[in-house]
């Protein structure tokens, strides 16, 4: 599979309120996020899910949003500021060598990897970094677009996750997505 990063300008479309008709953060996220949690969001784009997660974690919680595209991160900052939640969103730029999560080791309650893993050239490193950041028993919701990720590719991704210390724990129904909840073992 070719690894292409979503272009920054597509972030505006992906953050559109119209997207809620198919993938509503207010329906998808509440089973996984509670007030006071620390949540990791690799590949947040311009914050379609980030804003709702920031509301769910409340003033005592924190969202760590990591993206490789500076323009995506700037769009995320602007949206978070406008929505009054920027104080609980830690915006970070990833590098080609990793997500830069060493300060989070063992502190993350939940991670959302929505339509991002298929873009990564090194899924093993990704799962290793997320595994290290999660608390024992921490969960990751993985949702990959059906149009980009075929069943064999998704199964291969799950195998990489299993080899990286995760076990599958359910498959929530999210339109147009292949999904799995992974638990740190």
Domains of the chain with CATH codes: 35-184 (3.40.50.150)
Q: Which residues contact 140 (CB under 8 A, 6 or more apart)?
A: 110, 111, 112, 113, 130, 134, 166, 181, 182, 183, 184
Q: Predicted confidence band at 148 (pLDDT cuts at 50, 70, 90)?
A: confident
d(CA 178, CA 107): 27
Query: Does the model's pTM come out above 0.85?
Result: yes
Mean pLDDT of the chain: 90
Residue 65 pairs with which residues in a beta bridge? 41, 91
Q: What is the pLDDT of residue 97?
A: 85
For the residues 10-34, what does the mean pLDDT come to?
73
CA 55 to chain centre: 16
Is residue 108 within 8 A of residue 82, CB to CB? The reply is no
Q: Is the model's pLDDT at 138 over the cut of 90? A: yes
- H/E/C letters for each residue in 110-133? EEEEECCHHHCCCHHHHHHHHHHH
The runs of H, that is alpha helices, within 64-150 are 70-82, 123-133
Residue with tokens 């893993």: 117
């Amino acid at each position: 599979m070719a690894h292409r990063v979503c272009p920054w300008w597509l972030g505006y479309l992906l953050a559109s309120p119209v997207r809620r008709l198919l993938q509503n953060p207010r329906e998808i996220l509440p089973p996984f996020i509670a007030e006071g949690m620390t949540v990791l969001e690799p590949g947040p784009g311009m914050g379609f899910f980030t804003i709702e997660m920031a509301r769910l974690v409340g003033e005592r919680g924190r969202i760590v949003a990591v993206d490789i595209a500076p323009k995506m991160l700037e769009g995320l900052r602007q949206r978070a500021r406008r929505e009054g939640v920027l104080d609980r969103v830690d915006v970070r730029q990833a590098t080609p060598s990793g997500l830069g999560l060493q300060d989070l080791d063992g502190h993350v309650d939940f991670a959302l990897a929505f339509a991002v893993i298929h873009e990564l050239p090194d899924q093993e490193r990704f799962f290793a970094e997320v595994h290290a950041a999660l608390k024992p028993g921490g969960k990751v919701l993985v949702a990959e677009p059906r149009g980009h990720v075929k069943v064999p590719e998704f199964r291969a991704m799950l195998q990489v996750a299993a080899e990286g210390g995760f076990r599958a724990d359910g498959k929530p129904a999210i339109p147009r997505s292949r999904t799995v909840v992974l638990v740190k073992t």
